[in-house]
Amino acid sequence: PEGYTPHGRAYLVATTWLTARTADRIIVPSAAVKNDVLRLFPAKGLADRIRVVPHGVSVPAPLADGECAMVRAHLGVRQPYALMLGRVEAKKNVARAAQAIALVRKEHPDLQLVLVGRPGAGYERMRPSFVGQSWAAELGPLPDREMFALLQGASFLLFPSLAEGFGLPILEAFSYGVPVVTSAGGATEEVSGGLAHLVDPPSPESIADGIRRALADTDPAAAERRRAYAAGFTWAAAGQKTVAVLKELL
């Protein structure tokens, strides 16, 4: 709730409450969202009207190592680094992620934290946790080519969100075989399919432990399993499932 204004919260609660009572079908991207809707907005026959349609994932073809190195040099990023994608906001748990990086740097002093995304709710409160740190780089929003080049070259994606409806960056990282550190429970655990390093998001120590596991996750076979898993999430499949929901109503 702290991620939204009072007006925004009131609008979302009212419209979701109304939707739960009047819509013939409701499409959600994960079973976690379905469960949340059922718990928070109970209504007659609601469970029978909700359909889960996962998002697809689409990333550019991998760049050559030399091209990735050029992008990193242009942006002033050096390996090894943890990458955080998305708005820099309280919901993304950036402050605790930065605390966890600081803990791990006692054993891995070269590890950097790279933040890609525009500021969001709670940014000013979190800013002291990383601004001014020699091991943190805040790059703001980037063009897709640079963002995906950074993702391809990351040691791991750091995604210990407090709340998500899906978690698309998880699948984007998996598409390149990159390890992921993300939150246990909810949509992030669901979407990661047992292939991510799960952590307790309120605990910097737990996040740090997940980071250590991700840094040790260098098995090519594990990377290939992540790529194969992500390949199963396509926008074509999402479209077909959406059409199937629409056909139910015709």
Over range 50-67, report the average pLDDT. Answer: 96
DSSP state string for 170-188: HHHHHHTT--EEEESSHHH
Percent of the chain clearing pLDDT 70 (strictly above):
100
- pTM for this structure? 0.94
Q: What are the tokens at 145?
A: 């080519």
What gap in Å lies between CA 54 and CA 44, rounded to an integer? 24
Q: Measure the CA–CA gap between 56 and 231, rounded to whole angstroms.
A: 9
pLDDT reading at 1 higher than 80: no
Question: Average pLDDT for residues 206-215, to the nearest whole number?
Answer: 98
pLDDT band at 23 (very low <50, low <70, confident <90, very high): very high
Q: Which of 226, 214, 210, 221 is nearest to 173 (CA)?
A: 226
Interval 105-134: pLDDT, tens: 999 999 999 999 999 888 888 888 898 899
- DSSP letter assigned to residue 129: G
What separation in angstroms does the CA of 187 have from each of 127, 130, 244? Answer: 26, 27, 23
* Mean predicted confidence (pLDDT) in 208-228: 98
